[in-house]
Amino acid sequence: MVKLTIDDIPVEVPKGTTILQAARLIGGDVTPPAMCYYSKLKTSGGYCRTCIVKVEQGSEKDPRPIPKPVASCRTEVAEGMVVRNITSPENLEARAGVVELLLVNHPLDCPVCDQAGECHLQDLAYENGKEETRFEFERREFDPIDIGDKIKLHMNRCIMCFRCVKVADQITDGRCHGVINRGDAAEISTYIEKAIDNDFSGNVIDVCPVGALTDRTFRFKSRVWYTKPVDAHRDCDKCCGKVRLWNQGEEVLRVTARKDQWGEVMDNEDGSTAWICNECRFDKKHINDWTVEGPSEINRHSVISANHYDTLRNIKLDTLRMLGGKPHGEKVDLGIGALDPNNQHKQ
């Protein structure tokens, strides 16, 4: 086990853990945001630079600081390491710079983007960005592309996290999905517009942190915060069949994989990742196709819970902390079921 401190909070993790994973164990504000890192995908991370942290002391043996900010998602911990994230104003300033640069070519078309409300870039910009942009030129533009009949690619919104490329590489067989061109002209491509024809290709939608890859069967149907997420399952011979349904009344508008508090697809009991197949995702759009387990737990910060679980919105967060007795900085499990009068059956 390796001992280190992140923002003066001591944490002990197995050797080989990255700083970001260690920070996630602490949780709360100490955890750097991650736009490209995805713990379920090998070799992901290191590209977006939003998770940068300052390493004030490299290790006990070699106490020198690391001169440049490091990508916490790809840097392994060392014994006696001293990491600063939110306690370093310099680091926060650097991160704000990265966020500003990420938004330079982003169209900011949230009002018409299906991802709005569950977009990691929105959260990132809200938490770490500046109020206004200093970029005054025309933004880079691409035409939207259909990747097969179920997935839409809006390259304008892409932040080049490479997650979808890794999904194509590691989860689907027969990769035909990659990056072409260079620099700010680089784009996600299916190589000569070849449609992804694969049972697991829909997972690129789930890993996309922004609205670059969206579900065409859900396109413009509803804002996500007007839909109500429930966990459900079915017997599927291709995948685990454990999904999240996004309903409006009795109607299933969208099916996604279940995601954890970091926005990543959850694990099955056996430790494998609960990716879902395209049949579950795109074709099973009737409530009778599914066995509903109950309402999904949604992070209290999410606009989705803000709208749906109306009681929550009116509770001052500080009061909540006091009631729950949770220490400052820890993600508070709200026990949504208990607070929402509609969900009493869950208890």
Residues that bind other proteins (CB under 8 A): 45-50, 52, 67-69, 71, 74, 94, 97-98, 100-102, 104-105, 134-135, 137, 140, 159-160, 162, 178-179, 181-186
Element (H, E) at 52: strand 52-57
Query: In the sheet that 70-71 helps form, which strands lie side by side, from edge to edge?
Result: 9-13, 2-6, 81-84, 52-57, 70-71
* Token pair of 346 as six digits: 């869950």
Least spacing, CB of residue 233 vs other proteins, in Å: 37
Least spacing, CB of residue 183 vs other proteins, in Å: 4
> Residue 257 to residues 229, 242, 264: CA-CA distances in angstroms?
11, 7, 9
* Token pair of 286 as six digits: 């009737």
Residue by residue, DSSP assigns 199-237 as TTTTHHHHH-SSTTEEETTTTTT--GGGSEEEEEE---S
Least spacing, CB of residue 174 vs other proteins, in Å: 18
Least spacing, CB of residue 162 vs other proteins, in Å: 8
Strand partners, 257: 243
DSSP tag of 150: T
CA 79 to chain centre: 29
Which of 55/243 has CB closer to other proteins? 55
Least spacing, CB of residue 46 vs other proteins, in Å: 4
Which of 185/220 has CB closer to other proteins? 185
Which of 74/301 has CB closer to other proteins? 74
Which of 47/142 has CB closer to other proteins? 47
Which of 82/99 has CB closer to other proteins? 99
Which of 49/84 has CB closer to other proteins? 49
Q: Are strands 242-248 and 251-257 parallel, antiparallel or unpaired?
A: antiparallel
Least spacing, CB of residue 45 vs other proteins, in Å: 8
Helices (H) and strands (E) in the chain, counts: 10, 14
Which of 37/246 has CB closer to other proteins? 37
**Over the range 46-62, which residues count as b (16 or more CB within 10 Å of their CB) and which as e?**
bbbbbbbbbbbbbbeee
Least spacing, CB of residue 123 vs other proteins, in Å: 16
Least spacing, CB of residue 220 vs other proteins, in Å: 29
Which of 54/281 has CB closer to other proteins? 54
* Token pair of 131 as six digits: 């109020």
Coil, strand or helix: which one is 56?
A: strand
